[in-house]
Amino acid sequence: DAGITQSPRYKITETGRQVTLMCHQTWSHSYMFWYRQDLGHGLRLIYYSAAADITDKGEVPDGYVVSRSKTENFPLTLESATRSQTSVYFCASSEWTGYNSPLHFGNGTRLTVT
């Protein structure tokens, strides 16, 4: 079924480890986004991408790295995980950048850093 999928759904890692969260969409949407959700903060934008090989920082990019070599994939890497990066991470996509274009979200990855 077409859509946007995130993997893994749950991940536990240790402080200092590198971890990569995967995001794959089958719609060929140009725009892709990574958000983190924390209690009291809503969803905050980490990084976004307008197309393959084009990425830009969001509100909270520190400690994260993204890449987009293919339109359909947008992995998020925590190079050296910290406890403050314990969160629920959502990937999203939209067909275009217009202000009338909704984002469609994956089901999220719950990451715990111990």
Q: With binding defined as CB under 8 A, does residue 34 bind other proteins?
A: no
| Closer CB to other proteins, 60 or 79, in the complex | 60
Only one of the segments 18-26, 38-46, 60-68, 70-78 lies at the binding site for other proteins (rule: CB under 8 A); that segment is: 38-46
Q: With binding defined as CB under 8 A, does residue 73 bind other proteins?
A: no
Only one of the segments 11-19, 62-70, 71-79, 88-96 lies at the binding site for other proteins (rule: CB under 8 A); that segment is: 88-96
Q: Assess contact for 50 and 93: CB atoms under 8 A.
A: no
**Tokens 């060929």, residue?**
28
Q: With binding defined as CB under 8 A, does residue 27 bind other proteins?
A: no
Partnered with residue 38 across adjacent β-strands are 42
Assign 20 to helix, strand or coil: strand
Only one of the segments 21-29, 66-74, 75-83, 93-101 lies at the binding site for other proteins (rule: CB under 8 A); that segment is: 93-101
